[in-house]
Amino acid sequence: MKLKRRSVLGMMGAACLSAILAGCGGSDDSSSAAVSSAAQSGTDTQVLNIRTTAFGNNYDVQDMGWRWMMAACYSGLYRNVADDTGEHFVLDGAESVDVSDDGTVYTFHLQPNAKWSDGQPVTAHDYEYGWKRLVNPKYLYDYASFIFNVVGAEEYYNGTGTADGVMAVAVDDYTFQVTLKIADPTFEAKLVATPLYPTREDLAETAGDQWGKDWTLCVYNGPFCMSELVEDNKMVWTKNTNYWNADETHLETVNWYLVGEDSTAATMFDNGELDVLQTSGDYSRKYQSEAEAGQVQMITADYPGTVCLAFDHKNGGKSGLMGNLKIRKALSYSINREEMIDAVYGRYEPAYGFISPAITFDGKSYRSQVEEPMLADYNKYAGDYDALKSLFQEGLSELGMSTDLSSVTVTYLSYGSTVEESSFREYLQQTWQQNLGIQVELNTVGDYSLFTAERDAGNFDLFSAGWYSDYNDPLDYLNTFYTGLYVSVSGGYSNSEYDALIDSLAGENDNAKRLSIYTQCEQILFDDCATIPLYYSTKEYFLQNWVKDFRWSSFGASQEFYITYIEGRGF
Amino acid sequence: MTKYIIRRLVEMALTLFIIATATFFLLEAVPGDPLTQRADRLPEQSRAALYERYGLDRPVMERYLTQMNNMLHGDFGESFVYAGQTVSGLLKDRLPVSARLGIQQMLLGVSVGLLLGILAATHARSPIDYAVVGLSVLLISVPHLVFGLLLQKVFAGTLKWFPTIGWPTGKDLWLGGWKYTVLPTLTGCFSYIATYARLLKTSMLDVINQDYVLTAESKGLSRGAIVRRHILRNSFIPVMTQLPMSVAMCITGSFFIESIFSIPGIGQYYVTAVQNQDLSIVLGETVLLALLYIVVLFITDVLYVVVDPRISMPGTSSR
Amino acid sequence: MQEKEKQLTPDQFETVGYTMEEANKIDRPTISYWQDAWRRLRKNPVAMAALVVLIVLVILVIVGPNLRGYDYVNMNVTEKNLGSSTKYWFGTDSLGRDLFSRVWVGARASILIALVATTLKLVVGTLYGSVMAHFGGWVDELLMRVIEVINSLPSLLVTILIMMVLGNNLFALFVALSITAWCNTARQTRGMIKQLKESEYVYAAEVLGASPLHIILKHYVPNMLSILLLDASTAIPAFIFTEAGLSFLGIGLTSPEISLGVLISQGQQTMDFYPSQLFYPCAVLCIIVMAFNLLGDGLRDALDPRLRK
């Protein structure tokens, strides 16, 4: 069942005045009484109850520690929203954008009526401060490299330049101008990321060390304001009547409940205590069938994440075999992805490429334009385990080793203890042992820091890896295999041809050429069998039938409620 | 008496110091550190700066001395993982929640447990006895998590008597919001029922065979009077030995209950902090729990004297 | 009847012979403390039933996994999440593995862990306690202080940290489980030996010239053993629980190794849909613990000298 897109334009008017006066709702009744313009039936309260499994505890937009909360409570130049027609990249804080002919100067004209929840206008100075804060070497933000292409930014971050040298400046109160070193078609895609959101200098500087740690010091310029937080329990958002587009926002309150167990969440969803649910495993299957019967709504969306297994490209692994292409291929092709996904997860899409279908290029899904590079080769072997065994043996003899498969031991390093995590690693062990006749040792550790310790000690042949993209361009995926950049994803892969192709993208503005380079790059990865892709991540939302106009997003807030409303709940 | 108390206080301080030291070095021995996950995503030169910012680049002994010195001044430091969280904030926000949960669980669990224990002991080797044994085995064999989820399904899901999750905060912190506390308290009290029923039964059976009980019987005292005056009073020693452990346990042991009912207490937080190797939080909470244990131990030592006339004050230092 | 016939004369009696030895002989055979305990245990039907159940369990744990001919790790995803049937007695799990085999493999690990941890606890505790009682004085004070410190450390902290340092393996689990547990045994041992040292019968034995070995074997050991046996019968189920609890935190055995705790924590996550995956391991755990508890109760009665008839 899919949601119907519903026009929400043209509802500005009567509510404007009160909105400006009221600011953030909180316990203030006047705001909730004032804005009830949309088409809702009389008895429904505009309250949405939703589940989460963790609170982020980080309110510093530049840190991007808590993306889904920030993207809904704050607002940047653009907003990324998805509905059943796909991802939409819409102007938010910016009213219009001018790009110079050479593609290096971006001039953003800001919404003149955008305000922070304390009533102050959102100005270009707030953007300038936010951007310069991001590359301030004092703060060491993880995402500083996002704007290294801005003139003076990398120099400032590395200590060779000054803040004044960073060419992201407020021309006047409502004009923000950014100058790039070289034209970059992926630049706009990054603008939805919260590190490029505005920050109030006066508040951030006053708060000092406490900035981003204490939510009560924050002001918000997004559709909602945080109004209550009890750690490990509950978070409340109230409508921000100062949001420039507050007239389209119908929900008065969003209650986030921290529910750790899927079983508890299911009880609450069945009870109507939750309006929106994300869940996993058998619960997911249960609501899938309820959705088919029309009892609930279901939304499935691609999410820009690919889960894969990384080889030890540096040392060839504990077994010393991972340097051989045929052995890598045998390992990769002997996993029946459809069967594995069905047995272990009950959702997700099998992956025969690296770049997720959620990534769009030129307005269309990248995967709809480029066929999955592994598919053809995989299909040659699919299910033919004797052929795969001899492929593995060929690899062994190339290495000058005994071709006795049963004496081969491959070590898989992973962490985590949920049923899905442990089922997956047991599945993997069994599938390789049964299909290839090799021995598989599981090196399972308790948590991420132990995982990195084992990884750095080289106690593995393969480890669980994956990539969740930060912005909507294939480049963010492909960068991970650039020599030395993201060893935790690539396993230390290095290929000078590949690196040269990536380098050649700098300054390349022709989309057709970019697409061809992207395709070549991904093909190299699979000719080399550089990684074992397993599945593309997806998001699955179950909604009560009374929830209308729910939106989601791959690169902004996972769930977008800025136009959502409740109709027909009756309470 | 004064001398005894002073001696105990000095011992307590020493114990706390040793505990803080042991915890610090145990955490140091664990591979990795609280910043590993963040550092893994950073380029090489920024990594060093990150460690410098949190002071983790300095030698172990130096950090140990700084930490100890700060702790002496009541400053445990800030969480490495959750920015802005401190031990004092934790005490203010989370301890009262855990305390109420713990007190309710213990009051209900211990009293029901003791009642069942008396019942089982007075009807030893009868079906009642075996029913109590069976019940207590069942109550501890089924994990908290399963009990909690089942209670949620039945009482919150099907019957809708109580809310599924939540805990009173704000002005309801101590006395309000009872409906929220029913299911978590029930879930938690089961293990106390099991422990104390078994403990009191065993200890009462020991006492029943004592000569003075026979004497009392031969004097013609009624069954009830014997149980009340002789048996119960003397059977309470092992129960009281167990109490300090239960008090300490009721905080760390509430991990699953806090997590399934979304209760913002310190149990969940403690376990996560240990797994994150979040030094300052772990140190702070460990010292706090140890202090709690020692204080309760001291109180029970004093109570021994009240319960057992054979024990006199100074002799209680080693049980 | 005539008078004459009533008269007894010495020649009517025959000396069957007796010695001093025979005169002092006690007809009722002397039975040792242990024989007596066993006799009384045998008369306790509940304890005997528990003992039988335990023996059956031990047999099942040894042969159970092979009974059905399914390997406990071999998956078969076409037959996943089945209920009980004649093919799979306990059904199958989410990867189509036979739950009956898995439960017994899990129980084997759980019992093994509990037995080893209990042995460690008893050995360390007894030695430590004896040292305290034997030396007394400042050694006693110091060692007692160590126990106090260990007891005030939250055991969960110690366990988690040890598992993190030593890694998720059997050896680490043994260390982590027994590292705090021996304190109680040490304390009991110390108390017992101190009390025995002062007791009249040990004093009497010493005065009568009994060798130290005789005193240790005849007086210390029996008294200690009964305490240790009881300690063990409560410690074994406690260890099984602790291990199960750790599995819920993702600490302990790692796949593909399983214990009852691992099975229960996995079963819990699917209990709304396939309750049998939770029920069977839980039931086996209950039975094991129940049997140990009832046997422990029986042992306590049987070993208590005051109940001797």
Q: Which tens digit of pLDDT belongs to each residue from C250-269? A: 777 777 788 888 888 888 88
Looking at residue A21, what is its pLDDT?
36
Task: Give yes or no for a contact between A299 and A543, defined as CB atoms under 8 angstroms apart.
Answer: yes
Tell me if chain B has a CB within 8 Å of the CB of C245: yes
**Cross-chain residue pair A448–B36, CB shorter than 8 Å:** yes
Q: Do A46 and A64 reside in the same domain of the chain? A: yes
Tokens of C278: 């939770």
CB of A214 within 8 Å of a chain B CB? The answer is: yes
For A34, A412, A423, A426, B1, the CA distances from C255, given in Å and listed in that order, are 58, 12, 9, 7, 57
Paired sense of beta strands A439-445 and A253-258, if any: unpaired
What pLDDT digit, counting tens, does each position of A55-100 carry? 877 888 888 878 888 888 898 898 888 888 877 888 888 999 999 9
**What average pLDDT score do residues A50-56 get?**
85
Structure tokens at B224: 């009830």
Domain range spanning residue A328? 303-538
Chain A residue numbers touching C271 (CB-CB < 8 A): 263
Q: Are residues A518 and A562 in the same domain?
A: no
Residues in chain B closer than 8 A to C156 (CB atoms): 252-253, 255, 270-271, 274
- Helices marked H in chain C: 3-6, 20-24, 33-43, 45-67, 99-135, 137-152, 155-166, 170-198, 200-207, 212-215, 221-248, 260-269, 276-303
Does the domain at C34-73+91-307 match CATH 3.30.70.380? Answer given as no
ω into residue C256 within 30 of 0, thus cis?
Answer: yes
Instruction: Kindly list the residues from chain A whose CB atom is less than 8 angstroms away from the CB atom of residue B277.
Output: 449
Q: Which residues of B touch A453 (CB under 8 A)?
A: 31-32, 36
**C-alpha Rg value of chain B to the nearest Å:** 24
Residue A416 sits in a domain of what CATH number?
3.10.105.10
Q: Is residue A370 part of a domain?
A: yes
Question: Is residue B313 predicted with pLDDT exceeding 70?
Answer: no
Q: Do C165 and B286 touch (CB under 8 A)?
A: no
Residue A337 has which token pair?
Answer: 């992805």
Cβ contact, residue pair B26, C165, below 8 Å: yes
Sign, CA dihedral A191-A539-A67-B78, equals: negative
**Residue among C263, C232, C283 nearest C109 (CA):** C263
Q: Give me A78's structure tokens.
A: 């653009």
Residue C170 has which token pair? 């059997």
Average pLDDT over residues A6-20: 34
Mean of pLDDT values over C195-211: 80
Residue B152 C-alpha, separation from nearest chain A C-alpha, in angstroms: 7
Contact B157, A270 (CB under 8 A): yes
Note the pLDDT of residue B54: 77
A427 touches chain C (CB under 8 A): yes
Q: Is residue A279 in some structural domain?
A: no
* Placement of tokens 């207590």 in the chain: B136
**Geometric angle at alpha carbon B26, from B23 and B28, rounded to 5°:** 110
Is C164 in CB contact (< 8 Å) with chain A?
Answer: yes
pLDDT of residue A26: 41
Mean pLDDT of chain A: 84
Write the DSSP symbol of residue A247: G
Q: Report d(CA B213, CA B225) in Å as an integer.
A: 11
The pair of structure tokens assigned to A390 is 């001899």
Residue A504 CB neighbour total at 10 angstroms: 13
Sign of CA dihedral B58, B61, B63, B66: negative
Question: Is residue A103 included in any domain, yes or no?
Answer: yes
Distance from CA of A487 to the nearest CA of B (A): 9
How are beta strands A565-566 and A547-548 bridged, if at all? antiparallel
Query: How many angstroms separate the CA atoms of C59 and A410, rounded?
Result: 35
Residue A354: predicted pLDDT: 92
> Given pLDDT bands bounded at 50, 70 and 90, which one contains residue A12?
very low
Looking at the predicted structure, is the pLDDT value of residue C224 above 80?
Answer: no
Q: Do A422 and C163 touch (CB under 8 A)?
A: no
Mutation for C interface: A422, A448, A450, most C CBs within 10 A: A422
Integer Cα distance of A443 and A456 in angstroms: 13
Q: Which two tokens stand for residue A264?
A: 């508890």
Nearest to B19 among C153, C245, C282 (CB): C153
Q: Are residues A508 and A552 in the same domain?
A: no
Q: Is some CB atom of chain B closer than 8 A to the CB atom of A258? A: yes
Query: Who contacts A564 (Cβ-Cβ below 8 Å, separation ≥6)?
Result: A48, A250, A251, A547, A548, A549, A550, A551
What three-state secondary structure class fits A439? strand
CA-CA-CA-CA torsion for C264, C265, C269, C274, nearest 10 degrees?
-10
Q: Give yes or no for residue A192 having a pLDDT over 80.
A: yes
pLDDT value, residue A471: 85
Higher pLDDT: A485 or A33? It is A485
Share of chain C above pLDDT 70, in %: 92
Q: Please write the tens of the pLDDT for every residue from B71-117.
A: 888 777 777 777 677 788 777 888 888 888 888 888 899 999 989 98
Q: Does A53 touch chain C (CB under 8 A)?
A: no
CA distance C268 to C266: 5
CB A198 within 8 A of CB A108: no
Of the partner residues C95, C163, C271, the one whose CB lies closest to the CB of residue A423:
C95
Cβ-defined contact of A233 to B83 (cutoff 8 Å): no
CB contact under 8 A, C294 and B138: no
Does A228 contact chain B (CB < 8 Å)?
no
- The Cα diameter of chain A in Å comes to 81
Cβ pair B202:C248 closer than 8 A: no
Q: Is residue A266 part of a domain?
A: no
DSSP 3-state assignment of B78?
strand
- For residue A529, the Cα-to-chain-centroid distance in whole angstroms is 25
B45, burial (CB in 10 Å: exposed 0-12, middle 13-18, buried 19+): exposed
Q: Could you report the per-residue pLDDT of C66-102, keeping only the tens digit for each? A: 777 777 777 777 777 777 777 777 888 878 888 888 8
Is this complex's ipTM strictly greater than 0.90?
no
Q: Would you place residue C175 in the very low, low, confident or very high pLDDT band (cuts 50, 70, 90)?
A: confident
**Any chain C CB within 8 A of the CB of A444?**
yes
Share of chain B above pLDDT 70, in %: 92
Q: B318 falls in which pLDDT band (50, 70, 90)?
A: very low
The Cα of B254 is separated from the nearest Cα of chain A by a number of Å equal to 14
Rounded Cα distance, B121 and B126, in Å: 10
Question: Testing the interface with A: which of B30, B150, B165 to mutate, by most A Cβ within 10 A?
Answer: B165
d(CA A171, CA A169): 6
> Residue A281: inside a domain, yes or no?
no
Q: Assess whether A199 and A343 both reside in one domain.
A: no
Residues of chain B in contact with residue C187, where contact means CB-CB under 8 angstroms, are 319
* DSSP three-state, residue C265: helix
Q: Is C304 at the interface with chain B, CB within 8 A? A: yes
Q: How far is B34 from chain A (nearest CA, A)?
A: 8
Per-residue pLDDT at A24: 52
Tell me the sheet residues that pair with A351: none
**Whether B152 and A264 lie within 8 Å, measured CB to CB:** yes
Mutate to test the interface with B, among C152, C271, C272, C292 (most CBs of B within 10 A): C152
Entry pTM? 0.81
Bridge partner list, A150: A180
d(CA A275, CA A545): 9
Within 13 A of B190's CA, how many CA atoms are on the CB side? 23
In this structure, the number of other CB atoms found within 10 A of the CB of residue C21 comes to 7
Taking contacts as CB-CB distances below 8 angstroms, the residues of chain C near B26 are 157-158, 161, 165
Residue B158 DSSP code: I
Residues in B closer than 8 angstroms to A259, CB to CB, are 165, 262
- pLDDT tens digits, one per residue of B121-179: 888 778 888 888 888 878 877 777 788 888 888 888 888 888 888 888 777 778 777 88
Cβ-based neighbour number of residue A536 at 10 Å: 26
Q: Is C139 on the interface with B (CB under 8 A)?
A: no
Rounded distance between C-alpha atoms, residue A427 and residue A10, angstroms: 54
* 3-class SS of residue C124: helix
Domain ranges within chain C, ordered by starting residue:
34-73+91-307
> Which pLDDT score, from 0 to 100, does residue B264 have?
84
Rounded CA gap, A247 and A10, in Å?
A: 9
- Residues of A whose CB is below 8 A from C251: 446
For testing the chain A interface, which of C71, C74, C75 should be mutated: the one with the most A CBs within 10 Å? C75
Contacts of C4 (CB under 8 A, 6+ apart): none
User: How many domains is chain A built from?
Assistant: 2
Q: Which of residues 483-502 of A touch B (CB under 8 A)?
A: 488
Nearest chain C Cα distance for residue B138, angstroms: 6
Beta-sheet pairing, A349-350 with A439-445: unpaired
Query: Is A417 in CB contact (< 8 Å) with chain C?
Result: yes
CATH of domain B91-278: 1.10.3720.10
How buried is residue C183: exposed, middle or buried, by Cβ count under 10 Å (0-12/13-18/19+)? buried
Q: Which two tokens stand for residue C190?
A: 């110390």
Residue C68: how many CB atoms within 10 A of its CB? Answer: 17
- Structure confidence by residue, pLDDT tens digits, B225-257: 877 777 777 777 777 777 777 877 777 667 788
Contact residues on chain C for B30, CB-CB shorter than 8 A: 161, 164-165
Q: What is the mean pLDDT of residues C168-196?
A: 83
Q: Out of A283, A339, A450, whose CB is closest to C77?
A: A339
At B231, list the tokens. 């048996």
Task: Give the three-state DSSP class for A566.
Answer: strand
Partner A, chain B 95-124, Cβ-Cβ below 8 Å: none
A94 located within any domain? yes
3-class SS of residue B12: helix
Q: What does the alpha-carbon distance between residue C57 and residue C111 come to, in Å, rounded to a whole number?
A: 10
A425–C contact, CB cutoff 8 A: yes
Chains that touch B (3 or more CB pairs under 8 A): A, C
What are the tens digits of pLDDT across the range A18-40? 333 334 544 433 333 333 444 44
Mean confidence (pLDDT) of chain B: 80
Residues A433, A436, A441, A442: is their CA dihedral positive or negative?
negative
Distance (Å, rounded) from C-alpha A405 to C-alpha A327? Answer: 11
Q: A326-346: per-residue pLDDT in tens?
A: 999 999 999 999 989 888 888
